[in-house]
Structure 1
């Protein structure tokens, strides 16, 4: 694993191909209160690129262009939160997207364990440590352990997607999954607009 740390934006010239794994680290889990601290990316080649932001400084044209590019599929685990954070702080609508958590829920119906750690363990036999999950991502200096944790969240998403795609196709749920992925930017916008916990499709 090689980690490349970038301040404020991706450098120009990085080619992620037609799909890139993406994750973020934030100061907390409130869309309205907490800020975006890191964005992690990987082409699935063992390298991770981590973009670090100072508070209030989100002028990142190269990263924004990648997230909004129609020619690059963005692979997330729980895309709903990241896509909302990117729209709020970076001002971009991230699409097209693929969410391994949604794919897991549609295909692995024999379990209720759909966290990245559980999915990685079952499908790839890889253990991902979550010890740094609740650390201070806004700190002036990030520890090697924090950077390794942040990178681990994107390094295996391509391989997980490949396994989940096989399961979705096997169960005839791949078209349904794609429809869910296409709706994710709208679901994120509903979260930002004040409907995070309300099912607007419910009768009552």
Structure 2
């Protein structure tokens, strides 16, 4: 696994070359309150790029261009949160999107365990280590363990997408997943605007 750490933005010579897997690390789970600290991006060849943000400095035009590029598919696990964070801090509407958590909930109806750790264990036979999940991502210097953890969160998303996509197609639910993915930028905006807990489709 090749990990490259960048400060503030992607390098000028970055080329996606196809879909990218994306994840974020923040100071907490409320996009308006808890700042974005790190963005992880993995290309299909297994290269991982980590973009570390200094305290609330988010001028990252090259990264924003990749996230908004309609020709580059962005693969997430629990995209709803990450897309809201990226919209709030980078001011970018991320699209198109593929979310492994939504896909899992639509097709792995035999279980209620849809976390990334469970998915990679069952579908890929890979055991993720989660010890650094709740560590201080706002620290000036991230540890090697934090960097390895952050990279592992995006490294397997390409393969998970392939497995889940095949299962969705097999069960006739790929069209439902695609419609959900298309709605995610709007869902993220609703979360930021205050409709995070309310079901606006309910009576």
Range class of TM-score, shorter chain: over 0.9
Say whether residues 1:139 and 2:120 are aligned partners.
Answer: no
Which residue number corresponds to residue 130 of structure 1?
A: 130
Question: Is the 2:18–2:44 contact (alpha carbons within 8 Å) kept by the matching residues of 1?
Answer: no
Off by >4 Å, runs of 4+ in structure 1? none
* TM-score normalised by L of structure 2: 0.99
User: For this pair of structures, how many residues does the alignment match?
Assistant: 203
Gaps of 5+ in 1: none
Q: Deviations over 1:60-109 (max 9, x none)?
A: 01000000000000000000000000010000000000000000000100
Q: Deviations over 1:154-179 (max 9, x none)?
A: 00000000000000000000001000
Written as runs of structure 1 = structure 2, the 5 A alignment for 1:94-109 is 94-109=94-109
Question: Is the 1:44–1:157 contact (alpha carbons within 8 Å) kept by the matching residues of 2?
Answer: no
Written as runs of structure 1 = structure 2, the 5 A alignment for 1:1-204 is 1-203=1-203
* TM-score normalised by L of structure 1: 0.98
Question: Is the 1:37–1:137 contact (alpha carbons within 8 Å) kept by the matching residues of 2?
Answer: yes
Q: CA RMSD of the aligned region, Å?
A: 0.6
| Separation in structure 2 between the aligned mates of residue 44 and residue 71 of structure 1, nearest angstrom | 15
